[in-house]
């Protein structure tokens, strides 16, 4: 079963990080974040969307398998009930045949008693009785033959009942084995699904931590750049105060400035030129030595506001 609380907490955490990234740095005394940082956050949001889609797919898959298992169990139960009804009918049939055999045996005994009585009464009529005795013996043989046949049918019915009971037991054992196998497969599937969710959550947390470290490193570098540029700035003689402008800077590895130009003027050309000069004089700028971080400073912009 997928737990919703950890997933909800993860979504809230990443939503907070996104809000901090979008709105936490929009004041006049901070510098504008590079466009690449927005792409990282967007990638994080996409990862969360994929994670939610994967969780939904696993839920649907689990629901489908449960329905399939319920149908299969229902079919097995129907088959078992049919087998039980058939076995009961065979058992009733065997009882009926046993009752019929008993009735035949009673009838045969009664017939034999009657025959013996007649034999005693007609003993004086030996010639007639001898012929009659042959006929009676023949009847007795036929009756015995029928009795033996009934016994054979009873034995066959009993053997059939035993075979049916054995087959039913084998079916039950097979059903239990299949059920156990299904349980093991279901447990393994749930374990793999849980491991996948945990892996996604760990990756999301790691990405969030990496993003936080990246933002801090960039912010620290920008503060150092601002400080060094201010240290190399010469205040022009202007009546205005509180001026600011936006400067685009291009660097090469090592922080050497190859170009610095104002892309949003302060309205005072002397102030704009002094800002460009301050950037060139501050070369090399204190940019990160890590190549992956320096790529964000190869071309960047910042607001120069010395006061």
Q: Per residue in 230-263, pLDDT tens?
A: 999 988 877 667 888 999 999 998 889 999 999 9
Token pair recorded at residue 88: 């009961």
d(CA 109, CA 138): 15
pTM: 0.35
CB 147 within 8 A of CB 104: yes
Mean pLDDT in residue range 289-299: 84
CB neighbour class for 70 (10 Å; exposed up to 12, middle 13-18, buried from 19): exposed
pLDDT-derived band at 32 (thresholds 50, 70, 90) equals: very low
Rounded CA-CA distance 99/103 in Å is 6
- For residue 37, what pLDDT band results from cuts at 50, 70 and 90? low
Ramachandran category for residue 23: left, alpha or beta (phi over 0 → left; psi -120 to 50 → alpha): alpha
Helix (H, G, I), strand (E, B) or coil at 225: helix
Higher pLDDT, 128 or 184: 184
User: 154: closest CA among 105, 94, 100?
Assistant: 94
**What is the structure's pLDDT at 168?**
92
Provide the token pair at 262: 């104002």
Instruction: Evaluate if residue 298 carries a pLDDT over 50.
Output: yes
Poorest-confidence range of 7-21, 96-110, 179-193, 293-307?
7-21
Is 100's pLDDT higher than 80? yes
Q: Is the pLDDT of residue 2 over 60?
A: no
Please, which pLDDT band fits residue 113 given cuts at 50, 70 and 90? confident
> For the chain, how are helix, strand and coil distributed in percent, rounded to 5?
75, 5, 20
Report the candidate in 291, 263, 296 with the shortest Cα–Cα distance to residue 279.
263
Work out the pLDDT band at 114, boundaries 50, 70, 90.
confident
Q: Return the pLDDT at 10.
A: 63
**Percent of the residues in the chain that have a pLDDT greater than 90, as a whole number:** 27
Query: Which two three-digit tokens encode residue 72?
Result: 């299969």
The three-class DSSP label of residue 235 is coil
Mean pLDDT over the full length of the chain: 83
d(C-alpha 59, C-alpha 198), whole Å: 15
């Amino acid at each position: 079963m997928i737990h919703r609380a950890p997933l909800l907490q993860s979504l809230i955490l990443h939503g907070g990080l996104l809000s901090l990234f979008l709105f936490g740095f929009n004041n006049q005394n901070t510098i504008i974040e590079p466009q690449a940082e927005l792409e990282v956050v967007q990638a994080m949001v996409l990862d969360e969307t994929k994670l939610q889609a994967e969780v939904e797919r696993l839920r649907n898959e689990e629901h489908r398998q449960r329905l399939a298992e319920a149908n299969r169990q229902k079919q097995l139960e129907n088959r078992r009930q049919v087998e039980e009804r058939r076995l009961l009918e065979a058992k009733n049939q065997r009882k009926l045949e046993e009752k019929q055999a008993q009735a035949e045996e009673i009838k045969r005994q009664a017939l034999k008693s009657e025959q013996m009585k007649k034999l005693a009464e007609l003993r004086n009529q030996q010639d007639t009785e001898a012929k009659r005795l042959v006929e009676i013996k023949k009847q007795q043989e036929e009756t015995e033959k029928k009795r033996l046949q009934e016994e054979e049918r009873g034995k066959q019915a009993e053997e059939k009942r035993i075979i049916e009971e054995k087959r039913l037991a084998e079916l039950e054992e097979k059903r239990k084995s299949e059920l156990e196998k299904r349980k093991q497969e279901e447990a393994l599937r749930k374990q793999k699904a849980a491991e996948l969710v945990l892996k996604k959550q760990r990756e999301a947390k790691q990405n969030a931590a990496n993003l936080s470290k990246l933002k801090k490193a960039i912010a620290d570098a920008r503060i150092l750049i601002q400080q060094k540029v201010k240290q190399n700035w010469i205040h022009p003689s202007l009546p205005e105060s509180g001026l600011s402008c936006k400067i685009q800077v291009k660097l090469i590895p090592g922080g050497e400035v190859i170009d610095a130009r104002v892309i949003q003027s302060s309205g005072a050309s002397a102030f704009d030129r002094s800002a460009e000069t301050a950037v060139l004089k501050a070369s090399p700028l204190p940019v990160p030595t890590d190549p992956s971080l320096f790529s964000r400073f190869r071309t960047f912009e910042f607001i120069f506001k010395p006061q």
